[in-house]
Chain A
Amino acid sequence: MATLSNRLSRWTLLLFACALVNFLAAQGLILAGMTWPARALSAPGTLAAVHLLVIGWLLLMMLGALFQFVPVITARPLTSQRMALWALIGIEVGLGGMICGFFGITASPVLAMALPAGATAVLLGVLAASWNVGVPLVRARPLALPGRMVLTGLVFLVITVMLGLSFALAFTVPALAPYLAGLLNAFGDHALAGLGGWFTLTAMGVSYKLLPMFMLAPEDRGIPGDCVHILGTLGFALAVAAGVAQVWVSAGFLRIAQSSGYVAITIAVAIYLWDIRRIYRTRRRTAIEVHNRAAVGAFGFLGLAAALAISSLGTGRPAAGAPVSVFLVVFGWLGGLGLTQLYKIIPFLTWLGRYGSALGRASVPRVQDLVRERRGGQWFVLYFAAILLGSAFALSGSAPGFRSCIALVALATAGLVTEYWRAWRGHYVQARHAEAAIPPFLASPRE
């Protein structure tokens, strides 16, 4: 007998809304010329924009999705709906503190303390969120591949944030922990743990569930899926651990371990992309919706980012290619996958919240009636094209060219945000359905 319980995450749409605002704010910082490539990678504006992107946008978006996704794949409720809100508050307030800290480091030592204080709040928020989704995941073992990948991702998330907090302490109060000072050289490993171990593995796990579900393809990914998970986990763990260890110990075997990690990651990404192609090719649903058509762009950018990272490592000039790879991962792969899947998740949750109780009893619109796929599709084309062009400008070192592409990215993002808003408001739904109440957002759905 299946457990009957409410399956709608109370705060998910609020997390999505905050995430999208942060994404637009980060784009604003880039457009204002306060970040790389106009400024240095270590400039306060760059650090603020990067953390607005990864914490403010990607983390909140991913957690919002997980708060909804984990109860679905585990058939268990979250530890607590309220904990999701506390996680959001901790992360948003902490992020605000961190941004003040980045800009305040050179201005005043007191203001600089906002950096470790903010990082602590983010850590607390992340711990609350991880506990919230981690407990149902652990209790639902044995887990299918998506659940296992999310659980692995959560471990990397906590490691990433703890590394970040150590940086903040080393940066602002070097006297407190002098042995941490060298850690600042490991910022690349911090980024790899976060963008790779956490975001990429988790996004892969979620995509392994969502794609087959809406395209009617086999969910069991067999040995290739397990290879992606195991090689990805080993690869990111080895690369990050060996990278951080080299802060204190310079040894040949650590460099070999780090390189082996990169190779494992590359193989995992290659198998994953091949497997995703298999999902598209073996799908039973011939006409697929725009969110999955557009997601192909995100998968393409994952491949492109990996290829660029390999080529810049191979030529021994990681400094040239690495920032562009990170840009492709953040905007193209993770951002692109997020925006495309939100185009389905937001209307889906809105539709459930608004029409669920009327289903079968009254004429209700379909989920796809809440969106205009043609408009969404046009914004996705602009978004991905602008990122491709922007990466070319960044590689050639043209800051103005890069910024003009970001302006197009911002336009496409704003266009998509408008479409999400319209889906939520029921803008496209015919007048006969329009009298239905606004769906749960800040209000609680039926418990």
Chain B
Amino acid sequence: MTMTEPLTLDVREILRSGGEPLPKIMQAVGRLAPGQPLRLLVTFEPLPLYAVLGRKGFEHSAVRHGEGDWEVLFAPRGAEAGSGAAAVAAVPHTSSDEWPMPSAVLDNRGLSPPEPMMRILEALEHLAPGQVLEALNEREPVFLYPELQARGAVIHTETVGEGVRLLIRCAG
């Protein structure tokens, strides 16, 4: 299956003028043909949108082109990854099949060690066994691993752009 040409939506102007782009995004999602991805141009990484569209069956991959300039590709699950953002930072096949959707998302970028580790361990305490936490970090949290191991949690790490994306499943 070849990937359909994505529908591009640029909401950077709306965001810069302080507007709410969600209705336009959801409209665009409604207009998508079966299997067609959405290419979204935004001023920041739209973390809450990941969960919203994730529930609608979309995988996301984001590329930061510069300060206040993000390109995020939302591809319907099962569509073959093509060029552009998806090729750079595609979520590995196994993660979406074998891991449940994240119940919480933490953006730890812009924080220096050990703050990301503290936030992750704190967030995990609020999750039920088996639930997944998604965290975006500046770098691999090497000191976190022994703690996760001691707590019986499982982690999947992948490089995304200049940082790393972590999926952590609570023990249970």
| Whole-angstrom distance between the Cβ of B99 and the nearest chain A Cβ | 12
For B146, B149, B150, B155, which residue has the most chain A Cβ atoms within 10 angstroms? Answer: B146
One of B123, B146, B157 near A7 (C-beta < 8 A): B146
Check B139–A213 contact: CB distance below 8 A.
yes
In the assembly, what is the distance between CA of A352 and CA of B114, in Å? 9
Check B114–A4 contact: CB distance below 8 A.
no
- With a cutoff of 8 Å between Cβ atoms, the chain B residues found around residue A366 in the complex are 118
Residue B97 lies at the interface, judged by CB distance under 8 Å to chain A: no
Which interface class (under 10, 10 to 19, 20 to 34, 35 or more) fits A?
20 to 34
Check B145–A360 contact: CB distance below 8 A.
no
- With a cutoff of 8 Å between Cβ atoms, the chain B residues found around residue A215 in the complex are 112
Residue B110 lies at the interface, judged by CB distance under 8 Å to chain A: yes
Check A2–B114 contact: CB distance below 8 A.
no
- Residues 125-146 of B, flagged 1 when their CB comes within 8 A of A and 0 if not, give 1000000000000111011011
Check B146–A6 contact: CB distance below 8 A.
yes
Residue A359 lies at the interface, judged by CB distance under 8 Å to chain B: yes
Check A446–B150 contact: CB distance below 8 A.
yes
Residue B156 lies at the interface, judged by CB distance under 8 Å to chain A: yes
Residue of chain B at shortest CB distance from A357: B150
Residue B147 lies at the interface, judged by CB distance under 8 Å to chain A: yes
One of B112, B125, B142, B155 near A360 (C-beta < 8 A): B125
| Whole-angstrom distance between the Cβ of B101 and the nearest chain A Cβ | 20
Check B138–A216 contact: CB distance below 8 A.
yes
Residue B121 lies at the interface, judged by CB distance under 8 Å to chain A: yes
| Whole-angstrom distance between the Cβ of B169 and the nearest chain A Cβ | 12
One of A4, A214, A351 near B145 (C-beta < 8 A): A4
- Residues 157-193 of A, flagged 1 when their CB comes within 8 A of B and 0 if not, give 0000000000000000000000000000000000000
- With a cutoff of 8 Å between Cβ atoms, the chain B residues found around residue A213 in the complex are 112-113, 139
Check B118–A446 contact: CB distance below 8 A.
no
Check A7–B145 contact: CB distance below 8 A.
yes
One of A8, A218, A351, A446 near B114 (C-beta < 8 A): A351
Residues of A within 8 A of B (CB): 1-8, 71-72, 75, 213-216, 218-219, 284-285, 348, 351-352, 356-357, 359-361, 364, 366-367, 446
- The 28 sampled A-B contact pairs (Cβ below 8 Å) are A1-B157, A4-B146, A4-B148, A4-B155, A5-B145, A5-B149, A7-B145, A8-B143, A8-B146, A75-B140, A75-B142, A213-B139, A216-B110, A218-B162, A219-B139, A284-B110, A348-B114, A352-B114, A352-B143, A357-B150, A360-B118, A360-B121, A360-B123, A360-B125, A361-B121, A367-B114, A446-B146, A446-B150
